[in-house]
Amino acid sequence: MHRNYKIGHKLVAAALLFSLCLQSCNGSSNQLVLQEKEQEIEGQQRLRQGARFGQPEDNQAIVVLETGHQEGEEKENLNDLPVLMPELWQHIFSYLDFEGILAARAVNTSFHELITGSKQIGLVGVENRTYPIIHTDCWVMNKEVNFINLTCTPETIPSFPFYQLMGQVKNLPKAFWPYLRSTSVHTLVLSNNYLRDEGASQLAQHLQGSRVHTLDLKRNQIGAAGAIQLAQHLQGSRVHTLVLSDNRIGDAGAIQLAQHLQGSRVHTLVLSKNIRIGAAGASELAKALPSTQVHTLYLSRNKIGAEGASQLAQHLQGSRVHTLYLSWNKIGAEGASQLAQHLQGSRVHTLKLRYNEIGAEGASQLAQHLKGSSVHTLDLCGNNIGAEGASQLAQHLQGSSVHTLYLCGNNIGDEGASQLAQHLQGSRVHTLDLGSNQIGAEGASQLAQHLPGSSVHTLDLGSNQIDAEGAIQLAQHLPGSRVHTLDLGYNQIGAAGASQLAQHLKESRVHTLVLKRNKIGDAGASQLAQHLQGTSVHTLDLSENLVGDAGASQLAQHLKGARVHTLVLERNKIGSATKQLLQKQYPHIKWNF
């Protein structure tokens, strides 16, 4: 029988790392710690003056720049460290993220050489590539590095952070492109960089052999020629997500782009808002997809129309596409109906059709043809479906696979909400978005009465006209239903409404409650918290509710004994001192200010 020593190795590695750090602190090598601490402070000051990675005000990473030693400083070598198996060194350093690596690097020069591959402290410039003895991907920081305000040049940028620590990079200047292959960069965002065709082609050549898998080139005035050359050079690269929205690719560019993606790893293709892509382009594009890896396709905000949508769907047969974005394409009722018919036999399970002038009749016909398809997520927001359309749509969803339904902004009203809920009984719909539908107190109450016989567990009623009375009546009818996530943001519920709403949640399954921007105030927040005792609510969103220091403190006090572990209080009137105090006094709560 083979035994797994993986856990044992990790325990040994952890113990060794701790003991080695203690050992290092006992010798002369700990001088480097003090020296690097001083240099670290200097480096941070330089970063604040402009030479920085990211922007502190955006909570982005500040990478401590490597700084030089003074001449004559004592240096050590690897002989000062115990001789260990390479596997153990690998285990030891695999525990550290980029911040831990920066700290460990400062322990002594031996650790510095192990981590950076160089005895020299403070190497700068892309020509001074570092070769760490220990290789691990976990050193790469999980934060975006934005070069927009970076004053470093290829000659002055710190070598170790550039080659080993950066993973997500934005606005990388062209001068750095030739060195991408040797870095750990996996996500490259170059939107709004005026690359045009020539720049797109040059960039693609440098992606060969790099680790970049996500490439965002939106709004770069890239035309057909640039898109084609880009796709050609993606052969052999690791890029799997390609964002080319808001460019000038057009029909010809889209068609040839798809053809050249054959043999590439691209599985997510974003061509939204390339307004020259019409019916012919969408159709021919789809023809080329069966030979590619593309499974997620964004074509929103183009000029595809009814004919283009129908032809596109026909050619998706045999492709891997399972997620399709076609919002803002003037598809209309007839186009939506034909589109749904041709999805039979395709792999499409997520269909986004926002703002396509589909109307009541189109929604009804669309739903009828979804039976037998794989579609489980349907987005029809902003299609002026109305009460009658919502009712018919729900009736025809019986027997379909649809479980997630987005109907925001469709003028459904009270009557439509009630009828919709009635017809959802027996369907698979468990997630329902009815935001911005002019639903009032009566509609919310009737809707809730019909929920116990449905599968709905997530209900979004944000931005309606439910007010305090409607919220209370809604909550009264929730017991017996499956609803566990309830969004009532932007409904003018007020302090009294929020308090009474919470009282009626005790017999319900609701564990996530969103009450964003409801004019709840300090008193309402305090009363609400008192009544959450005995409920299942563990996540509470009270953003934009005029809650101040006193209200936040009282809210936290009354939550003692409740199940709340996540509390969102963004954009309120809570001071920094109160925020810090609450986080210290109630560490079991995840605070989002």
Domain count, the chain: 1
The pLDDT of 430-447, averaged and rounded, is 97
pTM comes to 0.83
Buried b vs exposed e over 525-559: b needs ≥16 C-beta within 10 Å?
A: bbbbbbbbeebbbbbbbbbbbbbebebbbbbbebb
Q: 40 lies in a domain?
A: yes
Q: 90 lies in a domain?
A: yes
d(CA 9, CA 436): 56
Residue 18 is predicted with a pLDDT of 57
d(CA 202, CA 223): 14
Q: 269 lies in a domain?
A: no
Which residues fall within 8 angstroms of residue 328, CB to CB, at 6 or more apart?
300, 301, 302, 354, 355, 356
Least confident of 49-53, 450-454, 481-485: 49-53
Name which of 318, 320, 281, 315 is nearest 299 in CA terms: 281
Backbone torsions φ then ψ of 443, nearest 5 degrees: -65, -40
Q: 135 lies in a domain?
A: yes
Residue 55 is predicted with a pLDDT of 39
pLDDT tens by residue, 233-249: 998 899 999 999 999 99
Give the pLDDT band (50/70/90) at residue 85.
low
Residue 71 scores a pLDDT above 60: no
Backbone torsions φ then ψ of 158, nearest 5 degrees: -60, 130
Higher pLDDT, 36 or 185: 185
Across the chain, what does the average pLDDT equal?
A: 86
Residue 59 scores a pLDDT above 50: no
DSSP 163: I
Give the pLDDT band (50/70/90) at residue 133.
confident
Which residues fall within 8 angstroms of residue 214, CB to CB, at 6 or more apart?
186, 187, 188, 239, 240, 241, 243
pLDDT tens by residue, 195-215: 999 999 999 999 999 999 999
d(CA 285, CA 274): 13
Q: Three-state SS for 124?
A: strand
Give the pLDDT band (50/70/90) at residue 83.
low
The pLDDT of 265-277, averaged and rounded, is 93
d(CA 60, CA 56): 6
Q: 129 lies in a domain?
A: yes
Q: 73 lies in a domain?
A: yes
Q: 53 lies in a domain?
A: yes
Which domain does 27 fall in, by range? 6-140
Q: 118 lies in a domain?
A: yes
d(CA 329, CA 354): 9
Secondary-structure percent of the chain, ordered helix, strand, coil, rounded to 5 = 45, 10, 45
Residue 90 scores a pLDDT above 90: no
